[in-house]
A and B are shown apart, each in its own frame.
Chain A
Amino acid sequence: MGTLKVDTVVGSDGTSPVTLTKQSAAKALLLFNQLSGTATSVRTLNIGSLVDGANGMSTVSFTSSFDAVDYCHLTGGATDSDNLNCATINRDNSAAAATTSSMPILVQVSSTTTDDNRDFNSVGWWGDLA
Chain B
Amino acid sequence: MSEIKVDTLTGKTTANDITVTVGATATQSLELGLTKGLLNYNQITDTVTDSLNISSVSDDSTSIFTTTHINNHTDALYFPSTTPIVENGSSRGGGLFGISGDYNPVSSSASITTSTMKFESCRASSHVNGATATGGEYDRATVIVCGSLA
Contact = CB atoms under 8 A, between A and B. Distances in A.
Interface of A: 1-12, 15-18, 23, 25-27, 29-31, 33, 35, 42-43, 45-46, 63-64, 67, 74-82, 84, 86-88, 110, 118-124, 128-130
A75 B122 CA distance: 16
Contacts of B30: 9, 25
Interface string B94-136: 0111111111110000000000000111100000000001111
Given A29-B32, A67-B23, A76-B103, A5 B11 contact: yes
Contacts of B101: 78-80
A4 B21 contact: no
Given A64-B23, A80-B120, A5 B135 contact: no
Contact of A4 (B9, B95, B133, B134): B9
27 contacts: A6-B9, A7-B13, A7-B18, A15-B21, A16-B21, A17-B24, A18-B21, A23-B34, A25-B20, A25-B30, A26-B34, A64-B22, A74-B144, A76-B82, A76-B99, A76-B103, A78-B98, A78-B100, A80-B120, A81-B134, A84-B133, A86-B96, A118-B103, A122-B78, A129-B23, A130-B23, A130-B24
Contacts of A123: 79, 81
Closest 5 CB pairs of A and B: A25-B33, A129-B23, A79-B98, A74-B81, A64-B26
B96 A25 contact: no
Contacts of B121: 79, 81
B81 A81 contact: no
B46 interface: no
A2 B8 contact: yes
B135 A82 contact: yes
Interface string B1-26: 11011111111110001111111111
